[in-house]
Amino acid sequence: DAGVIQSPRHEVTEMGQEVTLRCKPISGHDYLFWYRQTMMRGLELLIYFNNNVPIDDSGMPEDRFSAKMPNASFSTLKIQPSEPRDSAVYFCASSLRAIGTEAFFGQGTRLTVV
């Protein structure tokens, strides 16, 4: 398995534009997580899905952020409109419910909003 795959690796966009981050979890994993890493807050959980259903989105900063998981092999995190304070590294991770307690992370998307 190739692991969790995120795209793009880097994204630079202008304030006000829509940004879409993509994630392909490890096949067979039941859980998918979106995290944001910043210097001040470390790794913040934004939202997670179980069997494609959003379970907890309490970490989503505001209505400008939305996430979807239309099927077991794909998820998106969208920011519309983007703002400079959204600049961060966004990680997607997946895990198995029953077996592991550990989550497997993708390489992240570094987002810069100018």
Nearer CB in complex with other proteins: 15/85:
85
Nearer CB in complex with other proteins: 3/16:
3
Q: What region, left, alpha or beta, does residue 101 occupy, with left being phi > 0 and alpha being psi -120 to 50 degrees?
A: alpha
Q: Which residues bind other proteins (CB under 8 A)?
A: 4, 31, 33, 35, 40-45, 48, 50, 55-56, 91, 93, 95, 97, 101-108
Residue-wise burial string across 5-19, b where 16 or more C-beta atoms lie within 10 A, e elsewhere: ebeeeebebeeeeeb
Pairing of strands 109-113, 5-7: unpaired
- Shortest Cβ 16–other proteins spacing (Å): 28
Nearer CB in complex with other proteins: 85/97:
97
- Shortest Cβ 12–other proteins spacing (Å): 16
Please answer whether residues 5 and 21 qualify as being in contact, where contact means their C-beta atoms are separated by less than 8 angstroms: no
